[in-house]
Chain A
């Protein structure tokens, strides 16, 4: 019995909790991608860099706060700096819209042209970020590291295995719940939110109903920049901030948005967790879990790891391909690509 409990705790500690935290970060990122797809009808390749840009300004503001001795105690100072990062990302993205995307809207360009334009924007942001903060790894987490440490957990339960619950994981989950609840309240209950859904649903009819497309587009960008900065900051707190990883994270984020059904916000969240949990569970070494569950002599010698962590992006790719082949509209009903 204790062995089973130990195995469960081990799984929770190394697979489920990190998977859920990662899933939250992907979900917030995928929500931004899906919103832009729903309103402007293109896949925004610059989304990963938007996350990095917002996070960068959050980090700079965090440094400023830290150097002035301001902190939130056990909670990372970055949360206090978050509004600055969001503001910077919103200004950047609205400027980009005015200088780049607005031109293509006037031309009534096809989605693929937007997509290529967003690729250019991505490279521009990319350079801008490296110019301002450099390509190096930055760790900006402060406050206490754990809500529950492994040792405390062991003392509380008397089990061999400890379950640590990191502060950054707790914050990721709480902030995601707040963001998602606020977003859904906005989309479903407010007039502006409903007008965005209407625009996404049937653009021509929305225009006939007197919905102002410029306003809808502006709000979509503001929401996207906000979600991207929050997602990027949570990811950076949980792991670390390195501009290159924000380029890489674009793949699982797109996979999440498409798997869930692009254009569908609930799908984006679901997709985030599907991708995160499969990535973590496929690259997890099950050796110790199995050792708890089977008699000693049966214990495996190898790591029992399906895939090396180096190949974790292959997991998103594989799921993406399977979903596009089997159910192109995604798990929840989204637009077909």
Chain B
């Protein structure tokens, strides 16, 4: 079984209609799993379900062999999950350094080492560490957001469209960093609009359509599949 997996999840927001139908997504340690699909396919919803932000009435979420289905998002953070929301993912009025500090709020030990690691990963943040995060560019802001999530030293990092609204160059740069993070042994689960580029770096890919798994395979295999190419990757 995968290190983190949401199995056969069915559910939606509040008392509304079900958005996910028997959907399964998972990721192994040190690997990158990418969830792609057309607009409204329930990609972000699937990830939020894994993180406990909506109720699933069937299925379960397992991490490291332990069932965490009924835990709150906060409790899942304590268990070692890091989540980077798509929007409002930094404290805009606080400096970069304070953002990272707040990311590590649940830790009581010395966080200097982790902060240095984040600065090594994203050197630009070290330069701008006294600047309010709200004044940074879109790409730099995403780096702060990812850095903030890394401060808890998570075992799993979940990214909701990390490249939304950044330029192609910055996107490549961000993907490179994400690969580096995965190499340190962290499992990365990511939802992406830029399906092609994302599947290129993915160990595992999930194509969702209307809240259901349509294709599941390695990133490479999905890229090679003519049907997937035609329907989702623009030929």
Contact = CB atoms under 8 A, between A and B. Distances in A.
A210 interface: yes
Contact of A197 (B74, B91, B105): B91
A201 B74 contact: no
Contacts of B92: 201-202
Given A194-B98, A211-B105, A204 B85 contact: yes
B94 A198 contact: yes
Interface residues of A, number: 15
Contacts of A233: none
Interface string A155-183: 00000000000000000000000000000
Given A195-B105, A210-B105, A210-B106, A205 B91 contact: yes
B105 A207 contact: no
Contact of A194 (B78, B94, B148): B94
A202 B74 CA distance: 15
Contacts of A206: 91, 102
Contacts of A1: none
B228 interface: no
Contacts of B77: 208-210
Contacts of A191: 101, 105
Interface in B79-130: 83, 85, 88-94, 98, 101-103, 105-106
A103 B80 CA distance: 32
B150 to A, nearest CB: 12
Given A201-B93, A204-B85, A209 B73 contact: no
Contacts of B93: 197, 201
Contact of B88 (A195, A198, A205): A205
Given A204-B88, A208-B73, A197 B94 contact: yes
A207 B88 contact: no
A204 B90 CA distance: 10
Given A194-B101, A195-B102, A205 B94 contact: no
A207 B51 CA distance: 13
B91 A207 contact: no
A198 B102 contact: yes
A194 B73 contact: no
Interface string B189-215: 000000000000000000000000000
Contact of A208 (B83, B94, B101): B83
Nearest to B84: A208
Interface in B135-170: 148, 152
A331 to B, nearest CB: 16
A214 to B, nearest CB: 12
Contacts of A210: 74, 77-78, 105-106, 152
A110 B74 CA distance: 23
Given A194-B101, A195-B105, A204-B85, A209 B94 contact: no
Nearest to A211: B105
27 contacts: A194-B94, A194-B98, A194-B101, A194-B102, A197-B91, A197-B93, A197-B98, A198-B94, A198-B98, A198-B102, A201-B91, A201-B94, A202-B88, A202-B91, A202-B92, A204-B85, A205-B148, A206-B91, A207-B73, A208-B73, A208-B85, A209-B77, A209-B102, A209-B105, A209-B148, A210-B77, A211-B105
Given A205-B89, A205-B148, 10 more contacts: A194-B101, A197-B98, A198-B102, A202-B88, A202-B91, A202-B92, A205-B88, A207-B73, A209-B148, A210-B77
